[in-house]
Amino acid sequence: GHEAARVHKKATEPTKPKSPLDLTAYLSKRKPHLSFVVLGHVDAGKSTLMGRLLYDIGAVDNKLIRKLKRESEVVGKSSFHLAWVMDQTQEERSRGVTVDICTSSFETKEADFTIVDAPGHRDFVPNAITGISLVDVAVLSVDCSTDAFESGFNLDGQTKEHTILARSLGIHHLIVALNKMDTVDWYEGRFRDIQFELRNFFESIGLKEENISWIPLSGLSGEGVVGTKYPLQQTWYKGPSLVGELECIARTSGSKDQATLESNPFLFSILDVSPSGKNGDALLSGKVEAGKIQAGETITIYPSEQSVLIENIYNDSSQNPQAAAIEGDFVTLKVKSAQHEDIKTGDIAAIVGYDVGTAQEFTARLLTFKLDRPLLPGTPFILFRGGTQQPARIKRLVSIVDKADPAKVIKKKVKHIGSNQAAVVELELTEKKRRIPLMTLEENKHLSKVLLRKEGRTIAAGAIMSLDF
Ligand code: GDP
């Protein structure tokens, strides 16, 4: 292919922001920000809930909401500035490397929010993984209508799978939206039964009760979603609505610490790339994973190692450039003179002077799930890291370690790894064309997270420990 051929000039000197930023003043003016994804079983009411939320908040008009329900992909591409739909080629699709990700933002008096969504195939597990890997909070929509919960939860198990994935990827808060409560006439007993069953399950996978919220609602009627209005027969729930709860979480965890922002180098996960105008400028959409950035600064994009100057920073709810972007923000960077063909979804950009490792082989610490067959050297799988997927295989089994204390090696000469074990393994990518940027647990906890999937099932989750053996 053509992609290995071009060599880029990597900058070594940082460039100064166009206008210096008073970070203290900037942070004091900003509302807390929180991002979230809506998960759950097919037909659990996810689309309806998101549409209702945006509509009642005043972020979309009537006509659009009808479209959103029928054909959210259309909304993502045209009317709603959910501008981050991947421009996928057939080739990329068949290799399964990227996922359609859209973001939509809205604000309340108290906080700014970003919903991360994969509109095309919301129920597809890899898309859920991508969404989860980008957000602070997961909203799990559970269908409370008679029998629906039983089939979605116990039989199909997608509710379970999404929750396990959220837990594995380190989501720190889960909001359970007990949805479609209108279908059971807001009967408290139904709410309690489902809560009881889910609670047992959450406990079994190690999710702590203090990190879980429970909200009865109806996405269809809107009760319990935005305001405080409930029907007369709902007398037993006194807590906040979904948005009220999101605001509450934003208050406690949506503000960033100034010292951390100043000391951590800027890191950016790229979700989408597109050319902008004729003179080689490009738009890079993505998420600020660490630190802060301003227009006028230069970043280097990995793995291609091309350095580009940032001309402007936009967020998707406003056409006006913003002064800065900080950790947790979803923004579009307008950059000068880029070779956009060499930038891909899943690339990582960093401030000049901070090197991001790229590799084809690396060591990871994994926790295996329930396996049909043990993991052996050579076992193929799909590696998920951030929003990307790569075919890979196990190169070498290094050791079995203690689940509670991974520094403690239990067994060294390992021939296979079974279900529910903690292990250190060497992994290699099998698609040899391109190295991918990888961060270790020590460098960035969040970006180091990986999931291994095989034949449509998650077989292990863990973190990258080092890029060389
Ligand atoms: P998704 O597959 O999870 O995105 O689910 P949808 O939002 O497409 O909803 C699936 C079905 O449930 C649709 O027929 C909706 O009209 C219906 N539905 C969604 N939310 C509610 C609700 O709160 N109450 C009722 N009665 N039906 C709902």
Residue 155 burial (CB count, 10 A): 8
Contact 260, 328 (CB under 8 A): no
Beta carbons of 84 and 272 less than 8 angstroms apart: yes
Surface-to-core class of residue 362, CB atoms within 10 Å of its CB (0-12 exposed, 13-18 middle, 19+ buried): buried
Give the residue, out of 37, 38, 43, with the most ligand 1 atoms within 8 A of its beta carbon, to mutate for a pocket test.
43
How many angstroms does the Cα of residue 179 sit away from the middle of ligand 1? 9
Ligand 1 centre and the CA of 54: distance in Å? 16
Of 168, 105, 158, 81, the closest CA to residue 132 belongs to: 168
Residue nearest to atom 11 of ligand 1 (CA): 43
* Cα(220) to centroid(ligand 1), Å: 7
Beta bridge partners of 281: 276
pLDDT for the residue 74: 46
| 170 vs 448: CA distance, rounded Å | 11
> What pLDDT does 304 receive?
92
Q: What is the 3-state secondary structure (H, E, C) of the chain?
A: CCCCCCCCCCCCCCCCCCCCCCHHHHHHHCCCEEEEEEEECCCCCHHHHHHHHHHHHCCCCHHHHHHHHHCHHHHHHCCCCCCCCCCCCHHHHHHCCCCCCEEEEEECCCCEEEEEECCCCCCCHHHHHHHHHHCCEEEEEEECCCCHHHHHHHHHCHHHHHHHHHHHCCCCEEEEEEECHHHHCCCHHHHHHHHHHHHHHHHHCCCCHHHEEEEECCCCCCCCCCCCCCCCCCCCCCCCCHHHHHHHHHHHHCCCCHHHHHHCCCEEEEEEEEEECCCCEEEEEEEEEECEECCCCEEEEECCCEEEEEEEEECCCCCCCCCCEECCCEEEEEECCCCHHHCCCCCEEEECCCCCCEECEEEEEEEECCCCCCECCCCEEEEEECCEEEEEEEEEEEEEECCCCCCCEEECCCCCECCCCEEEEEEEECCCCCCEECCCCCCCCCCCEEEEEECCEEEEEEEEEECCC
- pLDDT reported for residue 92: 32
User: From residue 409, how far is each of 114, 168, 361, 398, 448 by CA, in Å?
Assistant: 41, 22, 22, 10, 21
Q: How many residues are given for the chain? A: 469
Q: Is 119 in the pocket of ligand 1 (CB under 6 A)?
A: no
Low-confidence ranges of the chain (pLDDT < 50): 1-3, 65, 68, 72-98
Nearest protein CA to atom 17 of ligand 1, as residue: 45
Cβ of 162 less than 6 Å from ligand 1: no
Going from the Cα of 47 to the center of ligand 1, the distance in angstroms, rounded, reads 7
pLDDT tens, residue by residue, 18-77: 999 999 999 999 999 999 999 998 888 888 898 889 888 987 655 554 554 555 444 443
Burial of 421 from C-beta contacts in 10 A (0-12 / 13-18 / 19+) = buried
Residue 45 near ligand 1, beta carbon < 6 Å: yes
What is the spatial distance between Cα 315 and Cα 333, in angstroms, rounded to a whole number? 9
**Is the CB–ligand 1 distance for residue 180 below 6 Å?**
yes
Q: What is the pLDDT of residue 84?
A: 26
Q: Is the CB of 182 under 6 A from ligand 1?
A: yes
Rounded distance, CA 227 to CA 217, Å? 11
Q: What is the pLDDT of residue 216?
A: 98
Closest Cα to residue 22, out of 376, 324, 344?
324
- Residue 331 φ then ψ, to 5°: -140, 170
- Rounded CA gap, 228 and 257, in Å? 31
Q: Which of 427, 342, 333, 339 is nearest to 385 (CA)?
A: 427
pTM of the model: 0.89
Output the residue whose Cα is nearest ligand 1's atom 25: 180
CA dihedral 162, 168, 173, 179 (to 10 degrees): 10
For residue 18, the CA-to-ligand 1 centroid distance in Å is 48
Q: How far is CA 322 from CA 96, 226, 334, in A?
A: 34, 28, 12
Backbone φ and ψ for 423, nearest 5 degrees, come out as -150, 155
Q: Considering just the CA atoms, what is the radius of gyration of the chain in Å?
A: 22
Query: Residue 409: beta bridge partners?
Result: 401
Tokens of residue 244, six digits: 């009220």
Ligand 1 near 220 CB (within 6 A): yes
Which pLDDT score is estimated for 154? Answer: 60
CA-nearest of 130, 77, 72, 35 to 345 is: 130
Neighbours of 255 (CB within 10 A): 16
The one-letter amino acid at 398: V
pLDDT in tens, 137-188: 999 999 999 877 777 666 567 888 899 999 999 898 999 999 999 999 999 9
